[in-house]
Amino acid sequence: MRALRFFTALALQLTACSSQYKYGPEQSWDLDSISELKSKEFWFHDAQRTLYNKLSTPPNQYRAKNIIFFLGDGMSVPTVTAGRIFDGQLRGVVGERNRLEFEKFNYVGLSKTYCVNKQVADSACTASAYLSGIKANYLTIGVTADVELNDCKGSRLPQNRLSSIAAWALKGGKSAGLVTTTRVTHASPAGVYAHTSNRDFESDYDVTKLGQNPGNCPDIAQQLIDGEVGKRLRVVMGGGTIKFLPNTTTDVFGNKGQRLDNRNLIEEWQQTKPGNARVVFSRTDLLNNDPQNTDFLLGLFNASHLAYHMDDSIDTPTLPEMTAAAINVLSRDPNGYFLFVEGGRIDHAHHETKAKKALDETVQFSDAVRKARKLTNPWDTLIVVSADHGHTVTISGYPDVNNSIVGLNSELSNVDQLPYTAISYANGPAYERFYKSTDGVVERVDLRNLDFSKPDAIYPHGVPMTEETHGGGDVAVYAHGPWSHLFTGVYEQSTLPHLMGFASCLGPGITYCDLQPKARYSP
């Protein structure tokens, strides 16, 4: 209370002082013209406003009733920077001055993403880290580093199985759910509920195809239906119908199922749920669903991953719409909830070096965070935003301010006098598109002859690969709400669920309730 009184008094003093500043806290951060950037007064008042915002924000030390963890798959720091500029330029403002929704959070840290056995991580081992608090081996999910790739026996041993923060929430009497733009059996969402020695064991067909026995290696889709955590999730939304249907059945999208065991896991999911369990396959059905009369919600909106936002898709909900639907169902629980939301196709677009799509998916991800903020109370809901790993994308050269982030650089190379893009990758596919050989000499092609205006435009890179790889750099962590000030600094990715657990009195580690037995939610 003493700290709260201090910050209240400080805020009153700062409000009185701020009237002298042209750019006070109520002003927009956007700029319509770069001419203002030349003003020294602009930069002075801009810095003072930032100081004001930081000084007038007291740390929130209430117990977190709800936790929403947003995961931008492959959302490296350069991706965030480029996404910010891309979004601003689409809105007609100076892109560099723009802020994505989560960049408005007061507390930011850096997370180290490596696996136990890989310097550069994949989405499987990282899911174990940021959801279960234990680092693991490359390509494995929800199991300790004692489990190697394809070690089915080891993955089934209780001592090797990890417990996710979703499991902690369920044990603590809360609800839990997940939303993703990928298949719901893909690596990141699988970390919420599954334990597997290979991330590609999404169906029993996949297990068999990879030379293993489904009887010894429970597939990920099966674990979503039968597993202790999976079967208790109140909300599951994403894609991947074919992983749940037998190969004798066709889904609503006209695609044949994959399963060899003849189980229809979608029907089983609905039949085994108490109360009103709803299954939806389209945006129309989702938006027409009444969350107040929905106890469980399963939304599968494509046979595989959801379409990119930039692609023409039939009746597919957006990530913000799925996020809102999930919150509306989960918030019925008076004890609170844990929700995992993944913008998974940022990663896929980067792998294809389709920078424009990657940035558009990042903007959609930001919009989902904005939607969550509007639907929740910052005093009782902790929102954490991060990435699992980075990519090799960079913004390079010395382009002019507000130069199109998805176009050509405003200067030429000082070696071959040819243009280059503002965004490029260290490696990637279609090498022959950007380089040509003349009399044994390899040269760059003139990018002015290529069309970068289309969503599917492939961007230049260096090392030729079948697909672009992940990057090994640290990723940012943004936090807002109860105990969000704990998320500053540089730390292992596996620290994240421990911080979230502390704030909400969940999990096997030390929690706020251990220090304050009467810890209460915000009134």
> What residues have CB less than 8 Å from 83, skipping those under 6 apart?
75, 100, 359, 362, 363, 366
Annotated ligand binding at 461? The verdict is no
Helix residue spans in 276-400 (DSSP H): 283-288, 319-330, 345-351, 355-375
Burial of 1 (0-12, 13-18, 19+ CB in 10 A): exposed
Token reading at 220: 């990920």
Residues annotated as catalytic are 123
Residue 351 assigned to a binding site:
yes
Beta bridge partners of 66: 381
DSSP lists the bridge partners of residue 110 as 476, 490
- List the one residue out of 158, 140, 121, 139 whose CA is nearest residue 389: 121
342 carries a ligand binding annotation: yes
What pairing do the DSSP bridges indicate for beta strands 381-386 and 475-480?
A: antiparallel
312 is in an annotated binding site: no
**How far is Cα 291 from Cα 368, in angstroms, rounded to an integer?**
18
Which run of H or E residues covers position 77?
Answer: helix 77-90
One pLDDT digit (tens) per residue for the chain, 523 residues: 555 565 556 555 555 555 554 544 445 667 777 888 988 999 999 999 999 989 988 999 999 999 999 999 999 999 999 999 999 999 999 999 999 999 999 999 999 999 999 999 999 999 999 999 999 999 999 999 999 999 999 999 999 999 999 999 999 999 999 999 999 999 999 999 999 999 999 999 999 999 999 999 999 999 999 999 999 999 999 999 999 999 999 999 999 999 999 999 999 999 999 999 999 999 999 999 999 999 999 999 999 999 999 997 889 999 999 999 999 999 999 999 999 999 999 999 999 999 999 999 999 999 999 999 999 999 999 999 999 999 999 999 999 999 999 999 989 999 999 999 999 999 999 999 999 998 889 999 999 999 999 999 999 999 999 999 999 999 999 999 999 999 999 999 999 999 999 999 999 999 999 999 888 888 7
Rg (CA), the chain: 24
Angle at the Cα of 118 from the Cα atoms of 357 and 161, rounded to 5 degrees: 95
Residues 6+ apart with CB under 8 A from 254: none
Q: What are phi and psi of 495, to 5 degrees?
A: -75, -25
Domain ranges of the chain: 66-392+473-511, 402-464
Instruction: Report whether 285 belongs to an annotated binding site.
Output: no
- List the Cα angle 238/239/244 in 5-degree steps: 115
Would the annotation count 470 as a binding residue?
Answer: yes
pTM over 0.85: yes
- 73 among the known binding-site residues? yes
What is d(CA 469, CA 455) in angstroms, rounded to the nearest whole number? 20
**Residue 158: burial class (beta carbons within 10 Å; 0-12, 13-18, 19+):** exposed
Q: What is the CATH number of domain 66-392+473-511?
A: 3.40.720.10
